[in-house]
Structure 1
Amino acid sequence: MSTAKATTATTKRKVFVARPPRSAEERLPQLYRALTDQVDDGYFQNAIKTSKKILALDPSSQAAFQTLLFLYLQTDEYSAALALLDAPPSSTSSLDFERAYCLYRLHREKEALAVLEGLKDKDRKVDHLEAQIRYRLGEYQRAQEIYEDLLAGCDSSSPEHPDILTNLSATTSHIDFVSTSYRSHLVPSSTSTSTHSSTEAELESYVPSLPTGWSNVGGLAATVEKKTAAVKAPAEKRARTKPRHQLPKGVTVGKAFTEDSERWIPLRQRTSYIAAQNKKKGGKESMGTGFTQGSTSGGAAAQNSGGGGQGGGGKNKKGKKK
């Protein structure tokens, strides 16, 4: 019977059949909805993964390509953005400005400038990027000219206006330093430079002074030796700042402490607890007798003597019935 039941149980089990993979037409709408939500909520890393999935299913998707490029620029992944620009979809328009910007952020200024110079249509964003590249390359005069042209065509209420003023001020400061200000830090020249020879005192006056103690080689060596010894000191020999285990109540590190001899006895049997309870009882009795008005010693004596007539001797015991 058991064999027959096992056979019927195995025949009733359904054979597992794997579901066929969904087609791209079914998956793409769901991926686009997920991509929109991820970008709106700021989950850029998840959005990058979703964009890659869309491009894997549909390599010609302009929306996924533009979104992925935007995400790379937002997350400062300029190398990945540059690699993406090397393999754009077939119908993508020119992305030379984006390429130049990625090269600029990767500190490849000369390559970025060559890309910008090859552009046919130049607008304000191209001029901004070119001015930044010229500034990095040390071409301050050309950068100043570009910023002045941008400032001339910019409204004072535009958010672009303060940025142009800041960059123009920095460029002008560098030009002033290179042309005039740096001369004040040079050695003063003499009218007859060929016959004039600077003395040792004059040359030493131009050398900046070092901090006190650096001229003492022994002091510097001792400082280095102390720091090296402190680094090489074993960790187990260092003094503990905190005890390993929690200390008992009332114990202070470094001070003598006497343990209670009755610490193993139950609390109600300890001498200190019994003394405290007796003290409480004595205080209550003194309060009851000391503040009673109209009581006399005679009345108390009569009360004490009256109990003996009953045969109880003051213990409130009843005698035999006769």
Structure 2
Amino acid sequence: MPQKPKTTSASAQKGKPIRVKKRPAKKEPLPVTERLKRLFTSLCAQIDGGHFSNAIKTCDKILRLEPSDPDALQTKVFLLLQTEQYAHALALIEGNDKYAYEKAYSLYRTNQEAGARNALEVSKRNKGDDDRGVLHLEAQLAYREGTYQAAFDLYNQLLDTSEPSSDEHADILTNLEAAQKHLEFIDSGYLRSLDDLPTSVTNDLESAPPPHPPSAAATLANVIVSQDTDTTKKEKQVRLKRVPKSVVMGVTPPPDPERWLKKSERSNFNAGGKRKKGGGGATQGMVESSAPATSHGSKSGNKGKKKK
């Protein structure tokens, strides 16, 4: 197959030089120190603006460039606690005793009191017994575990060293009052409640033997019965929003269940007597004519007659 003739541009035919566009030179990547500096600047701006989710992503970028950066790691742990991502925080600081307090706080917020108590002991050795954060967390753990006297003493210790005009002072007073109420009920409150009861009730309580713990079979039977009653209640419950205003429950007769069927398909159709003759299955609006039909020949014979 012969080759196609090559076409030349008009500028080449005239002898003019062809201009070739120069590609821009590739920019060299910034050094790691300069990239880290810019990322930390963005991180500070994001934290000041309250954009914590974006700040966590920036911390990840810094840790990819410098995995052992302590500032980025500490900032990410702080941001995870602020956004209540306790599981991610625990995975990040696992095995690092430097963040024992953060581990104890995360375990406390996820209702793991035993692990929080162990981590708090490690935090005491790192920070000391007089650290305010450690004292706050220890008081909250004691209150949750039911040792109200220990919580009461710790809150009193914190109250003595707090500023009266601070938010911390108001929080400590609230927690101290709650612990004090529990202590008063344990010491004398339940006794006053017993004194207010009738004598017959208190005598029965004092003479009655302690209740036996329910067996597993009885507990299972109670659960099954409660589930059955719940299902029956749900079936019998009527949605009042769909009931018309003119209907009175229990007084107004219920509607006909066959009201959506055709009349010919209902069970009471033609129950009053025999059907009238002449219907012949005609549809509604159709009228039968009684006049006999004329033949084709009669029509053709009438065409020639003139009207007088």
Say whether 1:36 aligns with 2:44.
yes
* Residue aligning to 2:100: 96
Given residue 101 of structure 2, which amino acid in structure 1 is its aligned partner? Answer: F
Give the whole-Å Cα distance in 2 for the aligned partners of 1:28 and 1:18. 21
1:190 aligned partner = 203
Per the alignment, residue 68 of structure 2 pairs with 60
Which of the pair has more CA radius of gyration?
1
- Greater CA deviation, 71-80 or 144-153? 144-153
Change over 3 Å in CA distance of 1:192–1:117 after alignment to 2: closer
What are the equivalent positions in structure 2 for 1:306-321 lying under 5 Å apart?
Answer: none
The alignment partner of 2:239 has SS state of helix
1:181 to 185, 189, 196: 189
Identity of aligned residues (%): 40
What is the alpha-carbon distance in structure 1 between the residues aligned to residue 184 and residue 137 of structure 2?
Answer: 23
What secondary structure sits across from 2:202 in the alignment? coil
Closer, same or farther in 2 for the Cα pair 1:117/1:18, shift >3 Å?
same
Letter in 2 for 1:76: E
1:272-306 Cα offsets, whole Å, 9 max, x none, are: xxxxxxxxxxxxxxxxxxxxxxxxxxxxxxxxxxx
Q: How far is 1:57 from its partner?
A: 0.2
For residue 3 of structure 1, report the CA deviation from its aligned partner: 3.2
CA, structure 1 residues 38+111, in 2 after alignment: closer, same or farther (shift >3 Å)? same
Give SS of 1:188's match. helix
- Shift, 1:193, TM fit: 5.2
1:271 corresponds to which residue?
Answer: none
Distance change (3 Å), C-alpha of 1:221 and 1:70: closer
Q: 1:16 to 1:133 in 2, by over 3 A?
A: same
Q: Distance in 2 between matches of 1:39 and 1:145?
A: 36
Deviations 1:110-142 (A, max 9, x none): 211122123221222211110101111111122
Identify unmatched segments of 5+ residues in structure 2. Answer: 13-17, 210-228, 243-308
Aligned match of 2:8 in 4, 7, 21?
4
User: CA-to-partner distance for each residue in 1:80-124, whole Å, 9 max, x for gaps?
Assistant: 111221276xxxx82211111111111112211122123221222
| 1:106 aligned onto 2:119 | no
Q: Point out where structure 1 has 5 or more consecutive residues left out of the alignment.
A: 198-216, 231-322
Structure 2 distance, partners of 1:222, 1:99, is 45
In 1, distance between residues paired with 2:206 and 2:78?
61
Report the TM-score, using the length of structure 2 for normalisation: 0.55
Aligned pair in 2 of structure 1 residues 55, 193: CA closer, same or farther (>3 Å)? closer
For 1:96 and 1:106, the matched residues in 2 are separated by 15
Amino acid of the residue matched to residue 224 of structure 1?
A: K
The corresponding residue for 1:165 is: 173
CA-to-partner distance for each residue in 1:227-268, whole Å, 9 max, x for gaps? 3996xxxxxxxxxxxxxxxxxxxxxxxxxxxxxxxxxxxxxx
Rounded to whole Å, the distance in 2 between the matches of 1:192 and 1:51 is: 63
Distance change in 2, residues 1:99/1:193 (3 Å): closer
Q: 2:238 aligns with which of 226, 229, 238?
A: 226
For residues 2 and 129 of structure 1, do their structure 2 counterparts lie closer, same or farther at Cα, with a shift above 3 Å needed? Answer: same
Q: CA RMSD in A?
A: 4.0
Structural mapping, 1:199-210, within 5 Å: none
Distance (Å, rounded) in 2 between the aligned partners of 1:75 and 1:192: 50
Provide the C-alpha distance between the structure 1 equivalents of 2:146 and 2:66, rounded to a whole number of angstroms.
45
Q: 1:59 Cα shift?
A: 1.0
1:120-176 CA-to-partner distances (Å, cap 9, x unmatched) read 212222111101011111111221121222233445445432222111110111222
Q: How many residues align?
A: 205
Deviation of 1:21 (Å): 5.2
Match for residue 159 of structure 2? 151
Return the alpha-carbon distance in structure 2 between the equivalents of residues 192 and 72 of structure 1. 52
Q: How does 1:227-306 map to 2 (within 5 A)?
A: 227=239
Give the aligned residue type for 1:82.
L
User: TM-score normalised to the size of structure 1?
Assistant: 0.53
Q: State the distance in 2 between where 1:191 and 1:69 align.
A: 57
Please identify runs of 4+ aligned residues in structure 1 that moved more than 6 A: 13-20
